[in-house]
Amino acid sequence: MEKNQIDLSQMSFEEALRELEMIVRQLEEGKINLEEAISSYEQGVRLKSYCETKLRDARTRVDQIILKTDGQLTTQPFEKIPE
């Protein structure tokens, strides 16, 4: 693992989001050299993907799409899905 690369498997969603926000601020300020900017951008892409996956997983755990007998789609909380 590169010295700048973060171990995402050990991060919570909130930690990853804070790190992503910090990277965005650094890139927007433009005070880092080109190589650091590229490395930060690549890490930001990884963090964004990780956060999106975490959100998608959380959403799946909370809501499930149900196809009703009349063909209509609806959502209901995960724990209420009939078995």
The maximal CA–CA distance of the chain, rounded, in angstroms, is: 60
Q: Does position 2 have pLDDT exceeding 60, yes or no?
A: no
Give the pLDDT band of residue 3 (cuts 50, 70, 90): very low
3-state secondary structure of 67: strand
Domain assignments of the chain as residue spans, ordered by start? 8-80
Fold assignment, 8-80? Helix Hairpins (1.10.287)
pLDDT score, position 79: 64
52 in Cβ contact with 32 (< 8 Å): no
Question: pTM of the full predicted structure?
Answer: 0.69
For residue range 15-68, what is the model confidence (pLDDT) as tens digits?
999 999 999 999 999 999 999 999 999 999 999 999 999 998 888 777 777 777
